[in-house]
């Protein structure tokens, strides 16, 4: 084991206080039979700095009845529970389960508290070495779950549970809860799916078209066959939202009376406007352009993002009560100080629109690519030149080059410093450009513009030998001896864009560094009270979803600022959530759906290339999502019988003591216990007098093993008829599950083979076995039958 | 070994474990200083084998699932691999080395019974099994076959000597009757 400090707690308070002070870097030790294993194999997310012994707390091992039923202290050993006369007499189920745990030695050492809090018993997670070394599964912060497709006897047949977000959502700058809305689509609930999506991204019809889909690159399904086509589903949902905007995007119910000015109507501004409005603030968006949308309206080519979509998005936001003041130049028509005076808060999101100069000889004769794109969107659709040379290797350069060809240029060449692999443009964007006929000249640096009669004739380029230095910083080196001349009558520069701060008066307290406004990365606050900034002005040119995310962060922080208090965090009122469902055919290898596109020859400057998918197709694609989570089954035998007995768990924390039903205790992976809480007592109401209590545990070796399936039942039978039943399944789901369908199937019925047969079928409604554990379905049915007939 | 300064030192609000651990192993007292002779992360099995030299105690799985490391602690069979030495202060431990007759150096009747019944092959699991059997017989001198099987459920024998183990213990149990 790695070293740790060891302390003895003398009271519950001392233990809890110490846990709190360690902020997650301490672990309690009771019997140690589980904890020491996890330490030896270093499987916990963080190795504890301190181990707090709670065996030194007196009186925490009592077992006794009072008026309300049986109380068992967390430190009661399993053997003591199994041998306790009162338990054996009235709470037989408990004694049987305790007796069935592990071995006599473990039962003499292990406590009931430790049994309930034991760590996940997935063999991949616990014994990575036995399956070929270090495994970084989902639960350890890695990507995939190993149990989905491999040996999985200790795993769920009822779906998984999540603790952190899955890889797709983690990769999304907007943290869209992807698997949840895909689940809602699978369930046929498009309005709910729309809500989930809008919670993180108010512009899905836009990102569904132009996002570089960071999520898909990380999708676990990609390791299996092909990643889920998340962006195409998002596009469908975005359009669905626009088609039903009146119902889905509604004005807030109440106004807060606070007002916000937003400078810039691009994705950051629109996102902040949407969320601030949803919180009930009055929002006014200023932009100097004629149409709202910023980059979305003016820079991104219409063949990728139709302008009608942008207009509909803006309209939907406007319909919630957001006011757009267009053709107002902040700095000229109205000052920042005016806005600060007239509004309760200001959000600066005016983007980055200015050309950057690279100090090239003859640069004044070149054209700024972004201005070219903006002009197209303003309706100027003239041939930009016969031979167009585009300088730059990013997505903007691709847009410029492709647009030039589509407007009638005979030739478009993209020249960039980077090699093809290093090019900042996304690989599929580059492919698109090549498909369109754009020629690539990689590893060339612009040297000087060739001209005659004041007109561009071409450019001299020199070999770029490397773009980045050893530290990965941009520091291009050239070999001036290797030259190349390219003839061109138009040169477009797409090497970046700069921010414009002319509206910030000298002496303003707004901090600007290296051409960007300094803002807190979590709240987007600028340091000037009430003034926030986001989007390209704070992080430089980036993607639409990054701008949206910063707008959302700003809106959340501004909401707190405007209301003068933090929103009361909805503190863990966790009810048992259903387990994560996925399509039971999830393991059939399938291809991702392909977005149909116009044939290359038919593509134009203002008609969208991508044709979109239908409902059936996106439903099919949603079916491919694994709904990633951990599918390890709960292993605590005590947990299963305690649910059957309707027990509650007493938990002590820094704030005092709370009690929760056992079902709720298990509703999260690794239980709902916070890092600074401990279990102190288990409270068990008396079972109905005369009820038949049965615990059946199926395992490989009777002498030691964990359950493959277990069933605990408390059944009251009167005159051969079942009057009341509580039946719980263990080891088949991430938590013990009440088999309510079974309970319903037998209550009021005569207990006989026929009833048991029907009940056993009911027990497995909705199973989704994993690739190799379908046999657990049959075992479950058999055990349920036996429990009923025993 | 112990200084006053150590005594008063508290870590994050909770008194640290006693700095000296007293253990009695097979009747012999030991004072172990934490930080020097034992670390908080040492298991009892480790201390017995590596620090005190009682290598009769075996470690096989090191995870509580095979019983090889079983020793007696205040008369009860426990798994020494799954227990921290710093939590054993004041305990009386008996290991397989403690079973011999101190005067004659002769084998304990249990050990003899195992030999007589050839109740092992490689013998790796044997010390642990004998310690569990000892605890059982001390409490119940005439256990039934079922009692024996129950009590030994936590012992794993790779060489499959289980049947002969039960026979060996039964031979003593019958003497007890
Ligand atoms: C070989 C083997 C077989 C097993 N087979 C089974 C089986 O078939 N069925 C079964 O149900 N279990 C089985 N177990 C698990 C066993 O029941 C647990 O290891 C034991 O009950 C844990 O108790 P402990 O006091 O030793 O816990 P510890 O190891 O001390 O603690 C376990 C975890 O719970 C935390 N913890 C302990 N007490 C508290 C508390 N009061 N409040 C909050 N957190 C606490 C600890 O920090 C730790 O994370 C098996 C274990 C082994 C080693
Ligand atoms: S079941 Fe859970 S613990 Fe096991 S491999 Fe999958 S994610 Fe990891
Ligand atoms: S399979 Fe689903 S949940 Fe898993 S990473 Fe892919 S989209 Fe996300
Ligand atoms: S080594 Fe201790 S139980 Fe296996
Ligand atoms: S005799 Fe070899 S392991 Fe038991």
Q: Are residues B75 and B11 in the same domain?
A: yes
Q: Are residues A271 and A315 in the same domain?
A: yes
CB atoms within 10 A of CB A419: 13
> Quick one: which of A33, A12, A126, A38 has its CA closest to A79?
A33
Tokens representing residue A423 in the block: 């090019």
CB distance B16–A6 less than 8 Å? yes
pLDDT above 70 (res A680): yes
Give the number of the atom of ligand 2 that is nearest the alpha carbon of residue A669: 2
Does A137 contact ligand 2 (Cβ within 6 A)? yes
In angstroms, how far is CA A495 from the centroid of its own chain?
33
Distance from CA of B149 to the nearest CA of A (A): 9
Q: Are residues B90 and B40 in the same domain?
A: yes
Mean pLDDT score, B8-33? 72
DSSP string, A403-441: HHHHTT-SEEEEEESS-TTT-SS-HHHHHHHHHHTPEEE
pLDDT, residue A632, reads: 95
- Structural domain including B165 reads 109-176
pLDDT averaged over every residue in chain A: 92
Show the 3-state SS of A624-682.
Answer: CCCCCCECECCCCHHHHHHHHCCCEEEEEECCEEEEEEHHHHCCCCCCCCCCCCEEEEE
Q: Is A365 left (phi over 0), alpha (psi -120 to 50) or beta?
A: alpha
pLDDT, residue A84, reads: 98
Q: Are residues A511 and A474 in the same domain?
A: no
Question: CA-to-CA distance for A109 and A86, rounded, in angstroms?
Answer: 21
Count, residues in chain A: 790
Q: What is the distance in A from the centroid of ligand 2 to the CA of A136?
A: 9
Q: Is residue B86 part of a domain?
A: yes
DSSP string, B52-89: S--TTS--SSSSSSS-TTEEEETTEEEEGGGSBGGG-T
pLDDT, residue A585, reads: 80
Q: Is residue B2 part of a domain?
A: no
Q: Is B39 on the interface with A (CB under 8 A)?
A: yes
For B129, counting Cβ atoms within 10 Å of its Cβ (0-12 exposed, 13-18 middle, 19+ buried), the class is buried
Q: Place A566 in a pLDDT band, splitting at 50, 70 and 90.
A: low
CB distance A108–B76 less than 8 Å? yes
Q: Are residues A368 and A462 in the same domain?
A: yes
Q: Is residue A448 within 8 Å of residue A458, measured between CB atoms?
A: no
Q: Are residues A461 and A384 in the same domain?
A: yes
Q: Are residues B15 and B90 in the same domain?
A: yes
Q: Is residue A753 part of a domain?
A: yes
CB distance A108–B77 less than 8 Å? yes
Distance from CA of A189 to the nearest CA of B (A): 48
Partner B, chain A 99-118, Cβ-Cβ below 8 Å: 102-106, 108-109
pLDDT, residue A568, reads: 46
Per-residue pLDDT of A336-369, as tens digits, reads 999 999 999 999 999 888 888 888 888 888 999 9
Q: Are residues B59 and B36 in the same domain?
A: yes
Q: Is residue B122 part of a domain?
A: yes
Q: Is residue B85 part of a domain?
A: yes
- Structural domain including A769 reads 121-161+629-633+688-790
Q: Place B176 in a pLDDT band, splitting at 50, 70 and 90.
A: low
pLDDT, residue B121, reads: 95
| Predicted TM-score (pTM) above 0.90 | no
Distance from CA of A715 to the nearest CA of B (A): 29
**Which residues lie closer than 8 Å to A390 by C-beta, 6 or more apart?**
A369, A397, A400, A401, A404, A412, A413, A414, A415, A491, A492, A494
pLDDT, residue A577, reads: 61
Does A631 contact ligand 2 (Cβ within 6 A)? yes
Number of domains chain A is built from: 4
Distance from CA of A31 to the nearest CA of B (A): 8
Q: Is residue A604 part of a domain?
A: yes
pLDDT above 50 (res A789): yes
Residue that the structure tokens 């039923």 belong to? A69
pLDDT above 70 (res A443): yes
CATH of the domain at A477: 3.50.50.60
CATH of the domain at B65: 3.10.20.30
Q: Is residue B128 part of a domain?
A: yes
pLDDT averaged over every residue in chain B: 89
> Quick one: which of A316, A344, A347, A355 has its CA closest to A330?
A347
- Our separate counts of H helices and E strands in chain B read 6, 7
Q: Is residue A619 within 8 Å of residue A185, measured between CB atoms?
A: yes
Does A679 contact ligand 1 (Cβ within 6 A)? yes
Side-chain-facing half-sphere of A661: CA atoms under 13 Å: 15
Q: Are residues B125 and B162 in the same domain?
A: yes
Q: Place A574 in a pLDDT band, splitting at 50, 70 and 90.
A: very low
CB distance B15–A7 less than 8 Å? yes
Q: Are residues A465 and A549 in the same domain?
A: no
Q: What is the distance in A from the centroid of ligand 3 to the CA of A590?
A: 14
Per-residue pLDDT of A491-532, as tens digits, reads 999 988 888 888 888 778 888 888 898 899 999 999 899 999
Does A125 contact ligand 2 (Cβ within 6 A)? yes
Paired strand residues for A286: A263, A325
pLDDT, residue A389, reads: 96
Q: Are residues A331 and A456 in the same domain?
A: no
Q: Which residue has the higher pLDDT, B27 or B18?
A: B27
Lowest mean pLDDT among A585-594, A619-628, B78-87, B136-145: A585-594
Question: CA-to-CA distance for A762 and A746, rounded, in angstroms?
Answer: 10
User: Where among B62, B96, B130 does a domain terminate?
Assistant: B96
Q: Which of B125, B127, B129 to mutate to test the pocket of ligand 5 (most atoms within 8 A of CB)?
A: B125
Q: Are residues B17 and B88 in the same domain?
A: yes
Q: What is the CA radius of gyration of chain A?
A: 32
Q: Is residue A183 part of a domain?
A: yes
pLDDT above 60 (res B11): no
Q: Place B177 in a pLDDT band, splitting at 50, 70 and 90.
A: low
Q: Are residues A362 and A456 in the same domain?
A: yes
Q: Are residues A506 and A545 in the same domain?
A: yes
Q: Is residue A402 within 8 Å of residue A377, measured between CB atoms?
A: no
DSSP state of A737: E
pLDDT, residue A143, reads: 72
Q: Are residues B45 and B83 in the same domain?
A: yes
Q: Are residues A504 and A485 in the same domain?
A: no
Per-residue pLDDT of A454-472, as tens digits, reads 899 999 999 999 999 888 8
Q: Is the ipTM of this complex over 0.95?
A: no
**Which residues lie closer than 8 Å to B118 by C-beta, 6 or more apart?**
B164
Q: Is residue A106 part of a domain?
A: no
Q: Is residue B173 within 8 Å of residue B136, measured between CB atoms?
A: no
pLDDT, residue B10, reads: 38
Tokens representing residue A167 in the block: 């890889």
pLDDT above 80 (res A677): yes
pLDDT, residue B15, reads: 41
Does B64 contact ligand 4 (Cβ within 6 A)? yes
In angstroms, how far is CA B77 from the centroid of its own chain?
7
Does B71 contact ligand 4 (Cβ within 6 A)? no
Q: What is the distance in A from the centroid of ligand 4 to the CA of B62?
A: 4
Q: Are residues A385 and A474 in the same domain?
A: yes
Q: Are residues A474 and A363 in the same domain?
A: yes
Paired strand residues for A497: A355
Question: CA-to-CA distance for A783 and A698, rounded, in angstroms?
Answer: 8
Q: Is A29 on the interface with B (CB under 8 A)?
A: yes
CATH of the domain at A205: 1.10.1060.10
Q: Is residue A98 part of a domain?
A: no
Tokens representing residue A464 in the block: 């770029």
pLDDT, residue B14, reads: 41
Paired strand residues for A69: A66
Chain A residues inside the 8 Å CB shell of B16: 5-8
Q: Are residues B41 and B80 in the same domain?
A: yes
Q: Is residue A63 part of a domain?
A: no
Q: Is residue B102 part of a domain?
A: no
For B122, counting Cβ atoms within 10 Å of its Cβ (0-12 exposed, 13-18 middle, 19+ buried), the class is exposed
CATH of the domain at A734: 3.30.390.50
User: Where among A494, A519, A540 does a domain terminate?
Assistant: A494
Q: Are residues A286 and A361 in the same domain?
A: no
Per-residue pLDDT of A524-538, as tens digits, reads 999 899 999 999 889
Does B133 contact ligand 4 (Cβ within 6 A)? no
Axis-axis angle for helices A178-186, A615-622 (nearest 10): 120
Q: Are residues B26 and B61 in the same domain?
A: yes
Q: Is residue A711 part of a domain?
A: yes
Q: What is the distance in A from the centroid of ligand 4 to the CA of B67?
A: 5
pLDDT above 80 (res A182): yes
Measuring from atom 6 of ligand 2, which residue has the nearest CA?
A145
Q: Is residue B101 part of a domain?
A: no
Chain B residues inside the 8 Å CB shell of A703: 153-154
pLDDT above 80 (res B174): no
pLDDT above 80 (res A333): yes
Number of domains chain B is built from: 2
Per-residue pLDDT of A13-36, as tens digits, reads 999 999 999 999 999 999 999 999
pLDDT, residue A685, reads: 97
Paired strand residues for B11: B14
């Amino acid at each position: 084991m790695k070293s740790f400090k060891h302390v003895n707690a003398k009271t519950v308070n001392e233990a809890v206080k110490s846990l709190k002070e360690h902020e997650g870097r301490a672990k309690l030790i009771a019997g140690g039979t589980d904890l020491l294993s996890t330490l030896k194999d270093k499987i916990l997310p963080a190795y504890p700095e301190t181990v707090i012994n709670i065996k030194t707390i007196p009186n925490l091992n009592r077992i006794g009845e009072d008026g309300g039923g049986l109380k068992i202290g967390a430190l009661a050993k399993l053997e003591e529970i199994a041998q306790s006369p009162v338990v054996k007499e009235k709470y037989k189920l408990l004694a049987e389960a305790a007796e069935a745990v592990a071995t006599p030695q473990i039962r003499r050492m292990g406590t009931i508290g430790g049994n309930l809090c034991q760590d996940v018993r997935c063999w991949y997670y616990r014994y990575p070495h036995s399956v070929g070394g270090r495994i970084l599964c989902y639960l350890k912060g890695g990507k995939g779950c190993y149990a989905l497709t491999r040996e999985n006897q200790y795993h769920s047949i009822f779906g998984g549970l999540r603790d952190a977000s899955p890889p797709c959502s983690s990769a999304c700058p907007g943290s869209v809860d992807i698997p949840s809305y895909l689940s809602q689509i699978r369930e046929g609930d498009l309005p709910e799916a729309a809500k989930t999506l809008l919670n993180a991204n108010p512009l899905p019809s836009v990102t569904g078209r132009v996002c570089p889909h960071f999520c898909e690159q990380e999708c676990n399904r990609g390791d299996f066959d092909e990643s889920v086509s998340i962006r195409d589903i998002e596009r469908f949902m975005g359009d669905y939202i626009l088609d039903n905007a009146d119902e889905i995007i509604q004005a807030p119910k109440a106004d807060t009376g606070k007002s916000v000015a937003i400078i810039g109507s691009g994705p950051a501004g629109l996102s902040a406007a949407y969320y601030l409005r949803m919180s009930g603030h009055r929002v006014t968006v200023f932009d100097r352009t004629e149409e709202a949308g910023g980059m979305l309206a003016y820079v991104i080519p219409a063949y990728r993002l139709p302008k009608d979509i942008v207009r509909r998005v803006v309209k939907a936001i406007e319909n919630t009560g957001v006011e757009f003041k267009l053709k107002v130049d902040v700095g000229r028509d109205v000052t920042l100080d005016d806005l600060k005076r007239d509004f309760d808060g200001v959000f600066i999101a005016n983007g980055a629109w200015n050309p950057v100069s690279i100090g090239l000889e003859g640069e004044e004769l070149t054209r700024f690519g972004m201005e070219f794109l903006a002009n197209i969107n303003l309706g100027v659709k003239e041939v930009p030149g016969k031979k167009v040379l585009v300088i730059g290797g990013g997505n903007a350069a691709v847009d410029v080059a492709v647009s030039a060809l589509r407007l009638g240029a005979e030739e478009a060449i993209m020249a960039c410093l980077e090699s093809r692999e290093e090019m900042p443009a996304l690989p599929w964007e580059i492919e698109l450009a090549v498909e369109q006929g754009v020629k690539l000249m990689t590893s060339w640096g612009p040297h000087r513009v060739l001209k005659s009669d004041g007109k561009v004739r071409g450019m001299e380029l020199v070999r770029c030998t490397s773009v980045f230095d050893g530290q990965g910083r941009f520091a291009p080196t050239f070999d001036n001896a290797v030259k190349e001349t390219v003839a061109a009558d138009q040169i477009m520069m797409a090497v970046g864009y700069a921010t414009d701060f002319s509206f910030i008066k000298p002496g303003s307290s707004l901090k600007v560094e290296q051409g960007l406004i300094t803002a807190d990365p979590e709240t987007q606050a600028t340091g000037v009270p009430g003034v926030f900034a986001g989007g390209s002005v704070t992080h430089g040119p980036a993607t639409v979803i990054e701008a949206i995310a910063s707008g959302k962060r700003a809106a959340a922080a501004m909401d707190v600022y405007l209301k003068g208090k933090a929103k009361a965090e909805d503190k863990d009122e966790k009810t048992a959530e259903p387990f994560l469902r996925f399509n039971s055919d999830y393991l059939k290898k399938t291809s991702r759906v392909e977005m149909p596109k116009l044939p290359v020859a038919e593509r134009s400057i203002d008609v969208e290339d991508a044709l979109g998918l239908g409902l059936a197709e996106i439903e099919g694609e949603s079916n491919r999502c694994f709904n990633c989570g951990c599918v390890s089954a709960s292993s605590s035998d005590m947990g299963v019988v305690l649910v059957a007995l309707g027990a509650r768990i007493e938990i002590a924390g820094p704030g005092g003591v709370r009690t929760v039903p056992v079902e709720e205790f298990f509703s999260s992976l690794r239980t709902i216990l916070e890092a600074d809480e401990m279990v102190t007592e288990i409270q068990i109401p008396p079972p109905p007098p005369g009820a038949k209590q049965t615990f059946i545990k199926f395992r490989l070796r009777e002498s030691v093993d964990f359950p493959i399936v277990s069933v605990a039942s408390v059944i009251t039978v009167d005159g051969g008829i079942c009057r009341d039943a509580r039946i719980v399944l263990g080891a088949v789901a991430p938590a013990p599950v009440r088999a309510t369908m079974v309970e319903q199937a037998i209550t009021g019925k005569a207990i006989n083979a026929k009833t048991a047969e029907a009940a056993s079928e009911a027990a497995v409604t909705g199973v989704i076995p994993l690739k190799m554990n379908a046999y657990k379905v049959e075992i479950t049915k058999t055990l349920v039958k036996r429990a009923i007939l025993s | 070994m112990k200084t006053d300064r150590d005594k008063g030192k508290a870590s994050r609000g909770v008194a640290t474990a006693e700095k000296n651990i007293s253990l009695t192993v097979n009747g012999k007292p030991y004072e172990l200083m934490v930080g020097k002779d034992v670390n908080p992360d040492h298991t009892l099995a480790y201390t017995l084998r590596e620090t005190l030299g009682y290598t009769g105690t075996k470690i096989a799985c090191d995870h509580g699932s095979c019983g090889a490391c079983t020793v007696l602690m205040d008369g009860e069979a426990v798994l020494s691999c799954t227990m921290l030495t710093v939590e054993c202060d004041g305990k009386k431990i008996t290991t397989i080395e403690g079973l011999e007759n101190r005067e004659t150096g002769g084998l304990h009747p249990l050990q003899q019974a195992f030999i007589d019944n050839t109740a092992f092959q490689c013998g790796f699991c044997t010390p642990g099994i004998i310690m569990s059997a000892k605890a059982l017989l001390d409490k119940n001198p005439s256990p039934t076959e079922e009692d024996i099987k129950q009590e030994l459920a936590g012992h794993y024998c790779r060489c499959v000597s289980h049947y002969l183990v039960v026979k060996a213990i039964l031979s003593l149990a019958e003497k007890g009757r």
